[in-house]
Every structure is written in structure tokens, then in C-alpha cells.
Amino acid sequence: MKYYSTNRLSPEVDLRTAVTKGLAPDRGLYMPETISELDPVFFAQLGTLTFQEMAYRVAVKFFGEDIPSEKLKEIVYETLSFNTPLVEVEPSIYSLELFHGPTLAFKDVGARFMARILAHFLSEEKQTVHVLVATSGDTGSAVANGFLGIEGIKVLVLYPKGKVSEIQEKQFVTLGQNITALEVDGSFDDCQTLVKSAFMDEELQRKMVLTSANSINVARFLPQAFYYFNAVAQLKEKHKKIVFSVPSGNFGNLTAGLIAKRMGLPVSRFIAANNSNDVVCNYLHTGVYKTKPSVQTIANAMDVGDPSNFARILDLFGHDHTWISGVMSGTSYTDGQIKESLASCYKHTGYLCDPHGAVAYRALKEQLQPDELGIFLETADPAKFTETVEEIVGKGNVPMPERLHEFMKGKKKTVEMGVEFEKFKKYLLSI
């Protein structure tokens, strides 16, 4: 399988290059040359397959030509050592719980998969690879824990100072070993700009082997398609149209869902559920795409004003606004509305969302039609936002998993960093 750049100004590359480079030389994002539909027999068997079995068959379509079948199966099965259960919240509305992995967030799937693919490609090399990752919350912890202790790989996590929850922060600033946390005095967009600029710097490219573990990397975002298939496989109701409501920040998650649909998954449409960072929502309503500085919200993992993966969505639909808006709609909610929805869901159904899931739940409540069945992605354990959630539903109502207790005991170790690229570059060359 070849991978091309969304900017169409760089040569096509193989999977190994796409994964190890992360970003194309023309600053575009890599996309698979072909997205093949799965056999009808596969969909007929969907309800009888395990999560690992169906994910392996999906993975073969993208990675099967470049990775030996037994190795690919091993990577998939090791990645998915946990399930993504579908939970009925109320009639016709389900939660797809993506927080049962090691760091209790949906990004465990993509991060664990990418770590194993990268380790496979680097197994015969002696060079150290530096993985750069910008995070607005859960990406940092998922990537750091996914790569922890892997020989030949050093991970640098860039995160905005004071703009992630304490629990999220503790999951990557306490690890040590091959993980370094850089506390950037700026926004998530500043962190992402530093990472992208590093990939474009010729001197850094000559002197270091750099790659990204953000969802700009094909090995991070494509595996997220796995759990869309798992969601549909768990449905008992087959007669209604399926709608996925996706909490959206950098848009890797929704892009993976669109690719699952392109592969034949019977999904009617998607809702891009945004917080106050409404760049894509505005595009869907107006046809004009205009980035803007991100604003801080209680759903902090979605605080993105320049979502990288939207370039993939535009590419997937030939930059056709009519086509895109026919498949996905956009909503945007304030912090007050997010709190209101989280409280309402808990009061009336007993189901506890995290702030991001609450955004997607509200979008379904407002948009779902009688002939539709809605699935919202619950992307993180509510305990990762204990302080925020307890303010809404009351103290003592947010169970704390033991794994999070252990992270909280660790000692914070960070490197302070400004937003100036030259200082970041100097630091990279010094390590």
C-alpha cells in the first residue's frame, strides 16, 4: 500500500516511511492510496467475531501488504487487550465506552497500535527515534504509556501549561525512563506548531530521526476505525439508521469513523460535536473554513483551533462542502451547556459522562430522528476530570479507578519550554 500527502506535492511513500516520518515533506498528512470495501461476508459475520478478529480483518486492508500476517495479528491482539463495550443509556441512545484501556482514554487504541508498528519497523535499526507528541489532554498519557520502556524510542510530550487536568498530567509527567514531558507556556495549538515545525526543519531532519505520535500519524488514527466496527457488532437493533456522535478536537477520531463508513460499515451519518472551539462546525454551516486561536473549556481535549485531521476529511471528500455536509453535521456547545447535559444525563439515566462524552450525548439528544439509533463516543473515564465532574454531580459520585490512584502518587518531572521554535530546536539538538 502506498500513502500520499493531502497536499499532493510530495511523492507517494510506503507504510514504513509514512509511519516513521509522520508528516509529509510538503506538510501534508499521509492517506492510504486506496480504501477498500470489506466483503459482505465479513459484515454478515460481524456479530460472531471477537473484537480482535474483526480488527485484524480491518487492519489487513491497510497494513497487510507491508507487515507479515502473523506479526500484524500479534500487533492487533496485543493492542486490543481490553474491550470497548456498548452501553444503552436510554432508548435509541448508546454510549461506546472507549476508556477501558491502560490510561482510561480512547487514545490507548491508536497509541498502543502505533508503538508496536514503529517497534516492528525499527527492530533491525540501531538509530534512536524521537517521537514528538503534542497533547491537549489524553494523547500524552496514551502515547507515553504505549511507548514506555520500548528500546530505541524516546518520547517527548509537549503540553500547554495549566491547561490539562491534574490527573491527565500525572499520567505522563511521572513516568521517567524514555518519556520526557515538556511544559509549554502556551496553548495546544502552540505545542502542535512546535511539533510540525520540527518536522520541517532541515537541520533537525539531518541530525535526528523524528516522528509524531499525534493523530497526524497514519498508524495512530487508522486503528481508531476498529472500535466503530465493534460498536455496530454489539448492536441488537438492526432496523434503524445508525448515527455516530463524536466529540471532536483534532478530528482524527471522526476521520477514522468516516473511513470505516467508506469500507462499508452501515453508518447513516456522523455528528461532529464541538465545544466552543467551533472551526469545523462553522465550516459545515457556511462552507468557509477559517482557523482561529483555541479557547480553554472544561472539555479540554477538544480545545483545538486548527484541527490537523480536517485536512484528511477535506481530501476524503474532494473538498466538496455539499458532499461533506451530507455525511456529517456540526454542533457547538458552551461550558454551561456541557455542564447542563452532563447533569441531565446523570439525573435522568444514572449514566455518568465525562465532559467530552456529554458534548456528544447532547448532540444526539438534539438531533436524533425517530428512525435513527445514536451512538456517542465516551472517550475518557469521568474520573480523569474528577474536580470538574464532581462540581456538576456532587462529591462522592465519581468512582476513582485504582490505576488512576497509582498515577497520582508519582512525582512530577517536566522541562519548561516557551513557544519559540528556535529554543525548542536547541533543546532537541542537545538531548
3-state class percentages of the chain: helix first, strand second, coil last, to nearest 5: 45, 15, 35
Full set of structural domains in the chain with CATH: 83-104+221-398 (3.40.50.1100)
Would you put residue 11 in left (φ > 0), alpha (ψ -120 to 50) or beta? beta
Give the separation between CA 157 and CA 195, rounded to whole angstroms: 10
- Give the pLDDT of residue 124: 67
- Give the pLDDT of residue 137: 72
- Give the pLDDT of residue 407: 82
Q: Which three cell numbers stand for residue 391?
A: 462540581
Closest by CA to 213, choosing from 143, 154, 137, is: 143
Give the separation between CA 337 and CA 23, rounded to whole angstroms: 36
Q: Three-state SS for 24?
A: coil
Give the separation between CA 191 and CA 5, rounded to whole angstroms: 22
Regions of the chain short of the pLDDT cut 50: none
